[in-house]
């Protein structure tokens, strides 16, 4: 068995008064492929920095073989001090390393080498940093969230590059598919300690759950033992005369063990605030286009999005995904074409930019808007401390400035802020960045159970497979193609991944409602034409009545003053909502038929 290239033993580190690492260990052998997993805030990035020799622990031992080359990719690389990307990447090479590899990697990552460091976007900086750590072909490569800010073509290229490398790899990532394909062993960091599984990430979650179940059984035994000891202290004959010092010390130790066990983090609790039901048709785009200068970003795009749809938008960086979302949500006007929204649309957005958070503001101020101790969630007031705990923030963090939060904590804070707003159209732009796997699981469940409509941009293939019902893929030159299902379904339909050759003959059929795609073709009768003209007015009239009924029923005094009227209003509300749904369905059927007849 070869000697480890890198060894961390019994590592301890305390941040403030909180022990972050408490006996953590890490052993990296030649050619090993490790994934390091654990919750946000568990110390994964800190442990990786100690492994890289960038951070000194309070206690423990770090040993690296003297001739081993180690390269480390942080979550937020610092490129300052270099004039351009080539100089930055070359700065990571050792004497004798081949500069041509730096050129090759930059080219494969979509950079020329002449880009000014000051003008780089977040995605370009991440690509340059990847090229810098890959170029020397190190013996150990330490990567902290390498897929953040990368698009799908770059992620799939990186997978191939890392698979082919001969050196050892230690990887932190929230991307399940990436972890499954690259890891052969798993190190779980939990409550300051590490446990190792000699299998890749695909076996991690079942193993973790088994360990937690065993721990719960041990905790129950510990609780029973504490009860027995407390009974002796209170009622034992010896205790009435002179308390036995040894047994009192044992009781104190048992209680300490229970406190330590309870340090395990709780579960994130997502509750989504819904703002009443939208109509059946949520968004319809008709031939919309948008260009910036001579560059087409969206070209002649049409679709119809219905209530309950979950649409994923994917493609290369700069392909127009965010622009398309802004057009569909009317935050941006198209150059040509039109976007029509259905009734009662209430939009809630989660932007990918962490810059939306004021770094000087405290966590409490962000959630309350700087006013008081309450936050409005779904129309009801909740104490900010209670709401914070739903997203795994401790009460003592209320005054913590945003600028000192980790990337994962800032991601959770943005989610908390966005999900407090009532809405029925949820737009998520890169929601998975920096989230831990457990939080991702709960976000997926929330999207699955969300009663409204969801539009999301993501490069996480597993997340897309678990959440969306259709994919809009940016083919290039502003063209978007719709595929039914998730990412894996899209690959099957395209005959390959995101780098697959485009079909020889482009399909230019307009999107039709998925539920009504097989409607029979016939002519519009006089009554059909009349209904098509009158139905929008009926829908609007019913929507106003429904809004008025909701307002009346929201009056608490009504229930005590006139119970019979409450029953009458409730019955009418149910009937009106049923009438509106029937009108919307009928209008949708007739509008689809009209477009089919007219060849649209």
Q: Annotated binding site for ATP, which residues?
A: 38-45, 315-322
Angle in degrees, CA 189, 190, 191, rounded to 5:
130
Q: Where are the alpha helices (DSSP H) in 262-406?
A: 321-328, 363-368, 384-390
The token pair at 56 is 């000194």
* CA gyration radius, the chain: 29
CA distance 193 to 23: 6
Q: What separation in angstroms does the CA of 440 have from each of 110, 434, 435, 466, 478?
A: 29, 10, 6, 11, 30
Tell me the C-alpha distance between 302 and 221, whole Å: 62
Of 306, 340, 350, 338, nearest to 581 by C-alpha is 306
Q: What residue ranges in 401-486 does DSSP mark as E strands?
A: 425-429, 453-457, 470-476, 479-484
CB-neighbour burial class of residue 308 (10 A; exposed 0-12, middle 13-18, buried 19+) = middle
The overall longest dimension of the chain from CA atoms, in Å, is 101
- What residues pair up with 26 in beta bridges, in sequence order? 8
Task: Please give the Cα distance from 545 to 350 (Å, whole number).
Answer: 31
Q: Is 462 left (phi over 0), alpha (psi -120 to 50) or beta?
A: alpha
Q: Listing from the earlier edge strand, what are the strands of the sheet with 168-172?
A: 70-73, 140-144, 168-172, 33-37, 185-190, 193-197
Q: Contact at 8 Å (CB) between 170 and 140?
A: yes
The residues with which 196 forms a beta bridge, in sequence order, are: 187
DSSP 3-state assignment of 99? Answer: helix
Burial letters 545-558, b for 16+ CB under 10 A, else e: bbeebeeeeeeeee
In the chain, DSSP finds a helix count (H) and a strand count (E) of 19, 20
- CA torsion sign for 556, 560, 566, 567 is positive
Q: How far apart are CA 21 and CA 283, in angstroms?
A: 49
- Contact between residue 26 and residue 6 where contact means Cβ atoms under 8 Å apart: yes
Q: By C-alpha distance, which of 316, 307, 298 is closest to 455?
A: 307
C-beta separation of 46 from 55 below 8 A: yes
Helix (H) / strand (E) element for 313: namely: strand 310-314
CB atoms within 10 A of CB 286: 18
Residue count of the chain, please give it: 600
Query: How many CB atoms are located within 10 Å of the residue 259 CB?
Result: 9
Annotated binding site: 38-45, 315-322
Handedness of CA 537, 538, 539, 541 (dihedral sign): positive
């Amino acid at each position: 068995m070869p000697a480890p290239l890198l060894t961390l033993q019994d590592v301890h580190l305390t941040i403030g008064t909180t022990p972050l690492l408490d006996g953590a260990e890490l052993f990296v052998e030649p050619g090993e492929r490790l994934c390091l997993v654990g919750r946000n805030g568990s110390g994964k990035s800190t442990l990786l920095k100690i492994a890289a020799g960038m951070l000194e622990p309070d206690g423990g031992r770090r040993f690296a073989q003297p001739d081993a080359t180690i390269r480390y990719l942080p979550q937020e690389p610092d490129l300052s001090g270099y004039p351009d990307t080539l100089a930055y990447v070359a700065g990571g090479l050792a004497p004798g390393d081949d500069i041509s590899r730096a050129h090759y990697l930059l080219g494969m990552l979509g950079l020329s080498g002449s880009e000014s460091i000051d003008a780089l976007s977040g995605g370009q900086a991440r690509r340059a940093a990847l090229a810098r750590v890959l170029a020397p072909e190190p013996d150990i490569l330490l990567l902290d969230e390498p897929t953040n800010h990368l698009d799908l073509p770059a992620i799939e290229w990186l997978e191939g590059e890392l698979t082919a490398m001969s050196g050892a790899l230690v990887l932190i990532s929230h991307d399940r598919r990436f972890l499954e394909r690259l890891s052969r062993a798993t190190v779980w960091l939990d409550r300051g300690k590490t446990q190792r599984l000699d299998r890749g990430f695909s076996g991690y979650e079942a193993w973790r759950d088994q360990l937690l179940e065993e721990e719960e059984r041990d905790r129950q035994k510990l609780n029973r033992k504490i009860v027995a000891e407390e009974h002796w202290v209170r009622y034992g004959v010896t205790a009435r005369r002179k308390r036995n010092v040894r047994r009192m010390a044992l009781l104190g130790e048992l209680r300490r063990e229970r406190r330590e066990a309870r340090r395990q983090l709780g579960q994130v609790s997502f509750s989504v605030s819904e703002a009443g039901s939208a109509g059946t048709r949520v968004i319809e785009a008709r031939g919309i286009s948008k260009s910036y200068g001579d560059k087409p970003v969206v070209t002649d795009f049409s679709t119809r999005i219905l209530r309950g749809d979950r649409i994923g938008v994917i493609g290369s960086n700069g392909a127009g995904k965010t622009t398309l979302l802004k057009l569909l949500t009317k935050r941006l006007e198209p150059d040509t074409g039109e976007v029509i929204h259905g009734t009662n649309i209430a939009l809630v957005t989660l932007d990918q930019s962490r810059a939306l958070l004021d770094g000087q503001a405290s966590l409490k101020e962000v959630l309350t808007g700087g006013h008081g101790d309450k936050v409005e969630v779904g129309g009801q007031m909740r104490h900010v401390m209670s709401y914070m705990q739903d997203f795994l923030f401790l009460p003592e963090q209320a005054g913590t400035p945003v600028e000192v939060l980790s990337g994962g904590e800032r991601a959770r804070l943005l989610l908390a802020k966005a999900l407090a707003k009532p809405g029925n159209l949820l737009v998520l732009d890169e929601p998975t960045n920096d989230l831990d796997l457990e939080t991702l699981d709960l976000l997926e469940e929330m999207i699955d159970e969300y009663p409204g409509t969801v539009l999301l941009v993501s490069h996480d293939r597993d997340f897309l497979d678990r959440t969306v019902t259709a994919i809009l893929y940016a083919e290039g030159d502003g063209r978007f193609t719709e595929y039914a299902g998730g990412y894996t379904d899209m690959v099957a339909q395209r005959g390959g991944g995101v780098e697959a050759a485009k079909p020889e003959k482009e399909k230019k059929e307009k999107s039709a409602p998925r539920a009504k795609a097989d409607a029979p073709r016939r002519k519009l009768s006089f009554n059909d034409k009349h209904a098509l003209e009158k139905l929008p007015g009926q829908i609007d009239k019913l929507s106003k009545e429904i809004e008025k009924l909701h307002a009346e029923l929201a009056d608490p005094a009504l229930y005590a003053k006139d119970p019979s009227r409450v029953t009458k209003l409730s019955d009418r509300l149910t009937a009106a909502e049923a009438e509106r749904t029937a009108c919307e369905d009928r209008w949708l059927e007739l509008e689809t038929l009209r477009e089919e007849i007219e060849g649209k």
